[in-house]
Amino acid sequence: MAHPFFERETRAPVEGPFAAEELGLAFRNVGLPLEALRYDVTPLGMHYTLSHFDVPEIDAGGFRLAVGGAVEAPLSLRVDDLKALAPPRTLRVTLECAGNGRAGMTPRYPSMPWQAGGVGTAEWTGVALRHLLALARLGPAVTELAFVGADRGFDSGVEHAFGRSLPRALALDDDVILAWEMNGRPLPPQHGAPLRLVVPGWFGMASVKWLDFIEAREQPYDGYQQAVGYHYRKQANEPGVPITHAKVKSLMAPPGIPDWYTRRRLADRGRITVTGRAWSGAGTPIERVQFAVDGEWRYALLAPAAHRYAWQRWECEWDATPGEHELACRATDASGATQPMVPEWNRAGMGNNAVQVVQVTVR
Amino acid sequence: MAHPFFERETRAPVEGPFAAEELGLAFRNVGLPLEALRYDVTPLGMHYTLSHFDVPEIDAGGFRLAVGGAVEAPLSLRVDDLKALAPPRTLRVTLECAGNGRAGMTPRYPSMPWQAGGVGTAEWTGVALRHLLALARLGPAVTELAFVGADRGFDSGVEHAFGRSLPRALALDDDVILAWEMNGRPLPPQHGAPLRLVVPGWFGMASVKWLDFIEAREQPYDGYQQAVGYHYRKQANEPGVPITHAKVKSLMAPPGIPDWYTRRRLADRGRITVTGRAWSGAGTPIERVQFAVDGEWRYALLAPAAHRYAWQRWECEWDATPGEHELACRATDASGATQPMVPEWNRAGMGNNAVQVVQVTVR
């Protein structure tokens, strides 16, 4: 439902310094500090979060997940009921916000102004969604499943609860889970407690938090975040391309020590092992990572993909000589997709997987 | 040690939109989303963090805390040694960053541009520092103790490890602890693992993280963060007043639901219970909290101070009528100190405890 106060034009892309609203979003949501790329599994509190509205207050004792729509047996289940459905699965998954890197697009869309840190890797424990859907018995004409959270608010004048949908076949994939644990501990509030969806290989918006209702649908889901948000568009009013899988990407932990304000780096001369992570979407393994010093590319040492949906560690030796240097890294996945040198611009600043460049002064 | 690359003037206060550097600091550090004021103890990942440099990588197995300077018995201790020193203490403590509210000062200092969320409450478990100092046997002329972390970088051209000092008498207070647990779990990396200082009643900078070295001193500590940083100053080159205790303050959880980008609030008409927290420095209890709707002040219901150093919950009923409304809250502590309506400006934007104002549209 629209309300006059919130009715207004969609925001237009801007350039230059950042608005207080953009800053406020940066405070509400957590970015991975890049030195935390050293952890295989991101410690709680350093994993990125992106919450569109307030973190809702949900009474875990009274919580019931509703399953309805075109099913033969509508359900209302406690988390304990889900735990009894099938043996739990734990998946190590790298999730990245579709808007990660938005601040690096010019002009940029006024929204969460991610620099590089909208990413993290966690171990999610839950039950495969397909067991729940089997219990509810999907009707034959069901084409997709909609997942609606308990978080509610406005975007561009439209009031809605955050919701997303998945095609039927994907929802039945064994790797799409309903999770109640993160890194072996109960799901924290800001990551979706008591229950969230985890869709490995997709950008983070698919992994709906504070899951409240699952609707089996015979028509496409028309929720705001599905029908309006999360599209690649060059212009405001074109239909655009829906955002699905994450894209191939790599990041490095900047070497040396930082300046407090500028975060510029200073390193000591000599052999430095530069490390980072690389990942792609849809469970596609990384084929190679390249590392560049002042534009000279070489191959980095890449760890094997031990977990299908988690980032892979890479490292490269650098004999650092005094002066100013520019470091960069670039991943290529098994499909042949690689990172561009400049972002592929789109209006909402989505899916920026351009090569990361880090300036380092060596003394 | 200064390095030419980083040598430059101290930054001058600015106005208007925010620089990419300010945004970068907002991403590296976590702000409390205000709806999390509902928790007595802030869940991990929602408690504020302010880390000047990179979160250091410390091998917990090889870790030793060094105690030296003017002591009779220099020490090198593992965390397990500390655990054996005396029974552990758990203290519930509200910590607030001294720079919280910096973005609300005009002009503002280019630094971490906190809006309201640089605060949180945790249960810290550790051992009283005095037991360690008794073991090391402080010399009679020791006037203060310096605490130096393992995090290193530059600020205003000066290379240093983050360090702060406390007067001898305060360091011997039973409530100043060396903590290895937060909320009943091992200290997470971004909160200072494996060991940090916790100084209840002071702004957060006193609670040194990644504690590496304690130095008993017969002269004032001259580390950058003690001698240069963390002062109230009207002008750049005056000595200024060192920052110590936190100041009396209150915050409310904004009622209603938000707009994604502006965070403006929309609430439904009728009875709303507005809740928040209030705290002060030096363990001073809160005497009263007032709540205002459109400038009309009334008394809020204030929970007793069950934990000397933790925030107190308050609530106030509001019969919300359709239209635009301005809400505000104001705490007064037992010393009579109260919150100003406008911030007390100082150059580095420290200690802003001005009254919080929240705009709400009621439908």
Report pLDDT digits (tens) over B46-86: 999 999 999 999 998 999 999 999 999 999 999 999 999 99
Phi, psi of B79 (to 5 degrees): -60, -35
Chain B neighbors of A189, CB-CB under 8 A: 36, 43, 46
pLDDT in tens, B96-134: 999 999 999 999 999 999 999 999 999 999 999 999 999
Given this model, what pLDDT does residue A11 score? Answer: 85
Q: Choose from A44, A261, A265 for mutation: most chain B CBs within 10 A.
A: A261
Assembly ipTM: 0.95
Which chain B residue has its CA at the smallest distance from A22's CA? B261
Q: List chain A residues with CB under 8 Å of B210.
A: none
Residue whose pair of structure tokens reads 């990125």 in the numeric block: A48
Q: How many CB pairs under 8 A join A and B?
A: 189
End-to-end CA distance of chain B: 59
Task: Tell me: pLDDT of A8 over 80.
Answer: no
Q: What are the backbone dihedrals phi and psi of residue A36, each rounded to the nearest 5 degrees, phi first?
A: -75, -5
In angstroms, the separation between the Cα of residue B230 and the nearest Cα of chain A is 14
Apex A318 CA angle, A317 and A319, nearest 5: 125
Percent of chain A surpassing pLDDT 90: 94
A186 preceded by cis ω (within 30°)?
no
Residues of B in contact with A190 (CB under 8 A): 33, 43, 45-46
In terms of CA atoms, which chain A residue is nearest residue B20? A17
Contact A49 B45 (CB under 8 A): yes
How many helices (H) and strands (E) chain A has is answered by 5, 22
pLDDT exceeds cutoff 90 at B155: yes
Q: Considering chain A, what percentage of its residues have pLDDT values greater than 70?
A: 97
Q: What values do phi and psi take at B197, rounded to 5?
A: -90, 145
φ/ψ (deg, to 5) at A85: -70, -40
Whether residues B55 and A33 touch (CB distance < 8 A) is answered with yes
User: What's the rounded mean pLDDT across residues A346-352?
Assistant: 96
Cβ contacts of A55 on chain B, cutoff 8 Å: 33, 35-36, 46
Indicate yes or no: CB of B31 within 8 angstroms of CB of A33. Answer: no
CA separation (Å) from B78 to B59, B164, B180, B236?
Answer: 11, 21, 11, 42
List C-alpha distances in Å: B16 to A113, A360, B104: 17, 30, 11
Q: Residue A261: its chain B contacts at CB < 8 A?
A: 11, 21, 25, 110-111, 155
Answer yes or no: are the C-beta atoms of B200 and B215 closer than 8 Å.
Answer: no
User: For residue B152, is pLDDT > 70?
Assistant: yes
Structural contact between residues A111 and A22, judged by C-beta atoms closer than 8 angstroms: yes
Prediction pTM value: 0.96
Q: Give the closest of A24, A153, A258 to B257, CB-based.
A: A153
Shortest Cα–Cα distance, B10 to chain A (Å): 11
**The pLDDT of residue B1:** 41
Within 10 angstroms of residue A194's Cβ, the number of other Cβ atoms is 19
Subunit contact A51:B31, Cβ cutoff 8 A? no
Asked if residues B159 and B2 have their Cβ atoms less than 8 Å apart, the reply is yes
Cβ separation A257–B153 shorter than 8 A: yes
Chain A, nearest residue to B362 by Cα: A5
Nearest CA in chain B to A151: B257
Q: Of A38, A111, A257, which is closest to B152 when you measure between CB atoms?
A: A257
**Under a CB-based contact definition with an 8 Å cutoff, are residues B69 and B129 in contact?**
no
